[in-house]
Homo-oligomer: A and B are copies of this chain.
Amino acid sequence: MNFGSDNQTGASPQVLEAIMKANDGFLHGYGDEDYTRQTVEQLKRLFDCDLEAYFIPTGTAANCLALSSLVNPWQTILCHPEAHIIQDENTAPELLTGGARLKAIATEQPKIHLEDLKKVLSYQAKEAPHNSLAGAMSLTQCTELGQAYQPEEVKQLCLLAHQHGLSVHMDGARFSNAVAHLGCHPKEISWQAGVDVLCLGATKNGALAAEAVIFFNKELAVDFEQRRKRAGHLLSKGRLFSAQFQGWLENDHWLELATHANRMAEMMAKGLSEKPGCRIIFPVEANELFVTLPKSTTERLQQHGAEFYEWPTSGLAEHLQPSEGEQMIRLVTSFITKEHEVKQFCDLI
Contact = CB atoms under 8 A, between A and B. Distances in A.
Interface of A: 2, 4-5, 7-11, 16, 19-20, 22-30, 56-62, 64-65, 72-75, 87-92, 94-96, 98-102, 119, 123, 125, 128-132, 203-204, 208-209, 223, 225-237, 239-241, 307, 312, 314, 336
12 contacts: A7-B237, A8-B29, A9-B237, A10-B240, A11-B240, A19-B208, A57-B209, A61-B231, A61-B232, A90-B230, A129-B234, A203-B237
B90 A130 contact: yes
A204 B237 CA distance: 9
Nearest to A307: B26
Contacts of A4: 26, 28
Given A10-B23, A58-B233, A129-B234, A94 B99 contact: yes
User: What does DSSP make chain A's interface, helix, strand, loop or mixed?
Assistant: loop
A232 B96 contact: yes
Contacts of A240: 10-11, 208-209
A16 B20 contact: yes
Copies of this protein chain in the complex = 4
A307 B16 CA distance: 29
Contacts of A19: 16, 208
A125 B142 CA distance: 21
A59 to B, nearest CB: 7
**5 nearest A-B pairs in the assembled complex, by CB-CB distance:** A61-B232, A10-B23, A123-B314, A94-B99, A2-B26
Contact of A58 (B2, B130, B236, B307): B236
Given A7-B29, A16-B19, A19-B208, 15 more contacts: A8-B27, A9-B237, A57-B57, A57-B209, A58-B234, A72-B226, A74-B229, A88-B131, A89-B229, A90-B131, A94-B230, A123-B314, A129-B225, A129-B229, A129-B234
A204 B4 CA distance: 35
Contacts of A92: 229-232
A56 B89 CA distance: 17
